[in-house]
Structure 1
């Protein structure tokens, strides 16, 4: 697979050129970015998925919803509808996408909306809100936000930056210059100072002003999706892990460090599960000899799994949280940008 990706290097060069020209057109004013009177926060990354945008959106909702009339606006990746749509608890993944549906279920009190054209979505939402969080919109340059928060997965930024399809980056690293705040996510418990220096040096080549913060993820107790079994100690169980996310490595590392025995069936990010997928899940589950066994998935994947296809197998999902190391400073700087 790695060799194949390097064989695609000519396409990477062409893709890089296209992205560079597009960014130049915005930087030179040939293409216009629009500002709005309502406060907007863009949360995004340069790589493809897996940086922890959704947990950060949920953290910001928790911290800011008491002070602002807040809405989240996403593209609604994978949905089969078009245009602007308010997300309701009765919606499905097919109508609004998995992450917006997750936001709504976790925060039914706030407005959650989807629109592939973020500028048009803001036009609608700004009438009734004073803060809009735009999930995964760093590349949506039609919008000039009040504040841009750029995320980098810790492992991605310490390694070479290579664009698609050879690498995993969808935008050139020089676009770091547009960020107001940079958050390094999914960090190990201890980040050595020499690695912090390397990261800072890499970023400062393009952005001398943005503050750099570090964050960790933590996994919360599992929750039942379809089960009446009380699981006191997951390490007593054999687990069939089902993921359709960009980067399942941190979850696998967590299960390994917790000494939890598991088999893993991995699907692409936002995977639309089909009958053959459920058949494979059921057959793999039935082959596990331990009587104490269950299926475990991520919270995002739980929005897409059809548990009626799983023959009454106990299914649980594991919520995730992000913890910003210097959260008070992070939030203070964010408030200053919003009140500027």
Structure 2
């Protein structure tokens, strides 16, 4: 079936002119982009949502937090609070944002903050003397210039195959990828062949100073509640339903189906703020609720503990390239 959004292509041309002019003004220094003496790593994408930014930030936190004083800064999408906000483990997701709250709960020793104004957020974080700052979803925030850019694009939805908004999902032209130091194709099949990797490389055409990596999603073999854990293989359709509020639940559904689990699925938009009416309906379900870790952050204080479980995920590098990726990150940090 033809994509009706392609009828909006003339508006995409206009969008391209506006975003292209903005980027050119930053590139020429006419608009000011602030850089910093300390290492700042920006993680982002060109497409709208669903590329795996949270698993990437978590990978970096896990990799760095034992040897460096790390801070992370997000905008806290759909949070109810305003301005700069330090995130604490016991805060509601409505105040901190679901993903920053997830980071803080996994890495309580890390300074996690939210601020839509990245310059102001970094200024406040510098008061805590971090060794390195991770910027979440920061590729289009040109007012700040990270010393190192990681660009994510999802397998099966490459930015090279997409159109600009509103006909497609690109926030800016694919030429913006030139700013990246590393490009990562996320959510790949774990058995992605070398031939398929080569085809994708030919599409992306990374520059001579850019490294291209491929990653997959590694699901836990256990599901967790506040105080309990169970083997995923013990999850049954009769006992559990699935609730998601993420951009693309398809990989999760495919994984559960491969495990022989096809639960009733209640799908909500990405970062969905559940209403009281929706919470009441979920509480009345005669089954336990299985959800993502991000959704768990929004539901854990509103659904009774014994009813709510989540399935953690991690990002995994393919083709034995993990060491190469980590070396590039550490070389940048140590050089700064």
CA-CA distance at 1:27 after TM superposition: 1.3
| TM-score for both structures, normalised by structure 2 | 0.91
Cα deviation per residue 1:187-244 (whole Å; 9 max; x = unaligned)?
Answer: 102223332223222222x63320011111111111015x868567335343311111
Distance 1:261 1:6, change over 3 A: same
Point out where structure 1 has 5 or more consecutive residues left out of the alignment.
287-292
Matched, 1:294 2:288: yes
CA-CA distance at 1:307 after TM superposition: 5.7
- What residue in structure 2 maps to residue 48 of structure 1? 48
Name the SS for the 2:151 alignment partner. strand
- What residue in structure 2 maps to residue 195 of structure 1? 196
The 1-side partners of 2:182 and 2:160 are apart by: 21
- What residue in structure 2 maps to residue 290 of structure 1? none
- What residue in structure 2 maps to residue 333 of structure 1? 328
CA-CA distance at 1:279 after TM superposition: 4.7
The 1-side partners of 2:292 and 2:2 are apart by: 27
- What residue in structure 2 maps to residue 250 of structure 1? 251
Cα deviation per residue 1:302-321 (whole Å; 9 max; x = unaligned)?
Answer: 111266457x8722111111
- What residue in structure 2 maps to residue 318 of structure 1? 311
What RMSD over aligned residues (CA atoms) do the two structures have, in Å? 2.3
The 2-side partners of 1:190 and 1:42 are apart by: 29
CA-CA distance at 1:278 after TM superposition: 3.0
Distance 1:272 1:232, change over 3 A: closer
Distance 1:222 1:115, change over 3 A: same
Distance 1:231 1:60, change over 3 A: closer
- What residue in structure 2 maps to residue 289 of structure 1? none
Paired positions, count: 330
The 2-side partners of 1:74 and 1:218 are apart by: 24
Cα deviation per residue 1:11-44 (whole Å; 9 max; x = unaligned)?
Answer: 3232222211211111121111111111111011
Cα deviation per residue 1:144-186 (whole Å; 9 max; x = unaligned)?
Answer: 1121111111111187221222222212111110000111111
| TM-score for both structures, normalised by structure 1 | 0.90
